[in-house]
């Protein structure tokens, strides 16, 4: 039936691609095929939870590795190697039977034919899981998008590391005080966990690293600005945690400005809605995310923040075999009238439950609705300084910082990564001097 429909569409639509479809070479199987798009927290958890299930699982990701986003800022601040916070997806599934990975970018979903189109070919599915996460949201401001520094991938974190170090090298050779300032001063936009963590890490870099590596520079010349459009920092956390985080940052010499929106940035000048301006060659953008897009879904299922509207079983509205999980999914419930927060815990819990539900389906058992178990939220500001909203209490300072370290270490994928990060943290804690301040630029081939 679907094939007949396809044939009719193909022969009547003059714009339908007429070239032969190239399909992935994945063996046919007697069991249904689940195609998961995205090997982030949600997709990875789901694929792993389908181990031994009566399904063939195909995971597609545009990168061949999983990224641990909560520690991007430490890569950007030269505290960790990029390789210690990413994990090759093939390696994660070496021993899983009926599992296939394809490194490709999904471009389009054909829900009529149950197929996806990627930049490397087509693939048919019985169940499709969209776990494509979110990207930086510049709120439609193209000028800011062209010049700001986002941190939504490990390559962007590395780019930021290079930029910070390169600007310090440039500043060293500028005699004029005023001209030097714009290479030294840094503006961070967004007072959520990422903005707060970056601001704290930069303040520590200024205090502990600069006097050792760049003796000719006066660290006091470097201004670190944190701009937040709302009335408080860490808006998703408790009021007490937001206030404490601000207190820590002020103690560390960060210039915190609230109730102010950045409206333009041309690579040199940051302009704010209240009329104030800052000259800076670096604007770090941590002000929000928007869902990634794949064409083919009806427009009415795309809701606020580019998220995909799902029911309490993560099924995409109006579909029978397409699901969305993680940051990209928008599930509205009495407890979460504006959908769940876009955090790793929600993504993992949804991935795990959907895998279990699809297994229940094969056994004729009833599926269960998603019920988020909030294990708390945390943010670290610097050494011995963190805030934690736990289900049973709110903490700040050293204890919160220890919990933050333990939770992040345990959440990393791979024993080697856990060990590498742990060793790096111990060394950094004792020496206050990480040794990763390397400017590594990709080699650009000469044009002939």
- Where do contacts with ligand FAD occur on this chain (CB under 6 A)? 37-43, 60-63, 69-70, 72, 105-106, 131-133, 151-152, 193-194, 292, 294, 326-328, 342-345, 347
Q: Please answer whether residues 116 and 106 qualify as being in contact, where contact means their C-beta atoms are separated by less than 8 angstroms.
A: yes
Quick count: other Cβ atoms within 10 Å of Cβ 311? 14
**Shortest distance, CB of residue 375 to ligand FAD, whole angstroms?**
9
**Shortest distance, CB of residue 68 to ligand FAD, whole angstroms?**
8
Residue, CB closest to ligand FAD = 40
Quick count: other Cβ atoms within 10 Å of Cβ 11? 10
Question: Of 154 and 184, which has the nearer Cβ to ligand FAD?
Answer: 154
DSSP string covering 49-63, please? HTTTSSSEEEEEESS
Question: Which 8-state DSSP code applies to residue 84?
Answer: G
CA–CA separation, 396 and 240 (whole Å): 9
CA–CA separation, 198 and 380 (whole Å): 9
Token pair for 214: 């760049």
**Shortest distance, CB of residue 438 to ligand FAD, whole angstroms?**
21
**Shortest distance, CB of residue 344 to ligand FAD, whole angstroms?**
4
Token pair for 169: 């090298």
**Shortest distance, CB of residue 142 to ligand FAD, whole angstroms?**
21
- Alpha helices (runs of H) in 31-113, residue ranges in sequence order: 41-49, 72-76, 89-92
CA distances from residue 312 to 45, 46, 367, 370, 375 in whole angstroms, order as listed: 18, 16, 10, 6, 20
Question: Of 171 and 237, which has the nearer Cβ to ligand FAD?
Answer: 237
Question: Phi and psi of 213, rounded to 5°?
Answer: -85, -35
Token pair for 108: 């389009």
Question: Of 42 and 249, which has the nearer Cβ to ligand FAD?
Answer: 42
Residue 286 DSSP SS3? coil
Sign of the Cα torsion 402, 161, 196, 179 reads positive
Question: Of 180 and 315, which has the nearer Cβ to ligand FAD?
Answer: 315
- Counting runs of H as helices and runs of E as strands, what totals does the chain give? 13, 25
**Shortest distance, CB of residue 52 to ligand FAD, whole angstroms?**
22
DSSP string covering 197-211, please? HHHHHHHHIIIIIHH
Question: Of 106 and 187, which has the nearer Cβ to ligand FAD?
Answer: 106
**Shortest distance, CB of residue 5 to ligand FAD, whole angstroms?**
25
Question: Of 182 and 377, which has the nearer Cβ to ligand FAD?
Answer: 377
**Shortest distance, CB of residue 62 to ligand FAD, whole angstroms?**
4
Token pair for 21: 């479809």
Question: Of 105 and 221, which has the nearer Cβ to ligand FAD?
Answer: 105
Question: Of 43 and 79, which has the nearer Cβ to ligand FAD?
Answer: 43
**Shortest distance, CB of residue 211 to ligand FAD, whole angstroms?**
28
Question: Of 81 and 221, which has the nearer Cβ to ligand FAD?
Answer: 81
Quick count: other Cβ atoms within 10 Å of Cβ 15? 5
């Amino acid at each position: 039936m679907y094939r007949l429909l396809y044939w009719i569409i193909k022969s009547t639509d003059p714009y339908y691609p007429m070239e032969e479809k190239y399909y992935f070479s994945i063996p046919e199987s007697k069991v249904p095929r689940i195609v998961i798009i995205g090997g982030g927290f949600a997709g990875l958890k789901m694929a792993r939870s389908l181990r031994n299930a009566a399904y063939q699982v195909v995971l597609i990701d545009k990168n061949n590795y999983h990224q641990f986003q909560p520690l991007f800022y430490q890569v950007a601040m030269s505290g960790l190697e990029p390789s210690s916070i990413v994990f090759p997806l093939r390696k994660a599934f070496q021993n899983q039977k009926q599992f296939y990975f394809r490194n490709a970018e999904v471009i389009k979903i054909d829900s009529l034919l149950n197929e996806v189109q990627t930049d490397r070919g087509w693939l048919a599915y019985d169940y499709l899981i969209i776990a494509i996460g979110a990207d930086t949201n510049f709120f439609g401001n193209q000028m800011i998008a062209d010049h700001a520094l986002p941190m939504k991938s490990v390559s962007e974190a590395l780019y930021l590391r290079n930029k910070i170090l390169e600007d310090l090298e440039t500043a060293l050779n500028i005699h004029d005080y005023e001209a030097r300032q714009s290479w030294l001063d840094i503006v961070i936009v967004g007072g959520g966990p990422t903005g707060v963590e970056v601001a704290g890490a930069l303040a520590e870099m200024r205090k502990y690293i600069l006097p050792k590596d760049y003796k000719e520079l006066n660290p006091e010349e470097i201004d670190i600005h944190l701009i937040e459009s709302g009335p408080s920092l860490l808006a998703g956390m408790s009021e007490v945690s937001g206030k404490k985080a601000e207190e820590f940052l002020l103690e560390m010499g960060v210039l915190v400005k609230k109730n102010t929106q950045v409206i333009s940035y041309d690579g040199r000048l940051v302009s704010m809605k209240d009329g104030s301006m800052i000259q800076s060659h670096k604007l770090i953008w941590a002000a929000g995310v928007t869902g990634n897009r794949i064409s083919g879904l009806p427009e009415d299922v795309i809701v606020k923040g580019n998220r995909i509207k799902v029911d309490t079983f993560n099924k995409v509205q109006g579909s029978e075999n397409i699901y969305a999980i993680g940051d990209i999914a928008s599930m509205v419930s009495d407890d979460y009238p504006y959908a769940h927060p876009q955090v790793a815990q929600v993504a993992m819990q949804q991935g795990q439950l959907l895998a279990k539900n699809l297994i229940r389906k094969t056994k004729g058992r009833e599926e269960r609705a998603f019920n988020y178990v909030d294990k708390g939220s945390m943010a670290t500001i610097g050494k011995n300084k963190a805030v934690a909203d736990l289900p049973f209490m709110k903490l700040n300072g050293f204890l919160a910082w220890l919990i933050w370290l333990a939770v992040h270490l345990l959440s990393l994928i791979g024993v080697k990564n856990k060990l590498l990060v742990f060793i790096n943290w111990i060394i950094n804690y004792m020496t206050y001097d990480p040794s990763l301040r390397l400017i590594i630029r990709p080699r650009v081939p000469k044009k002939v």
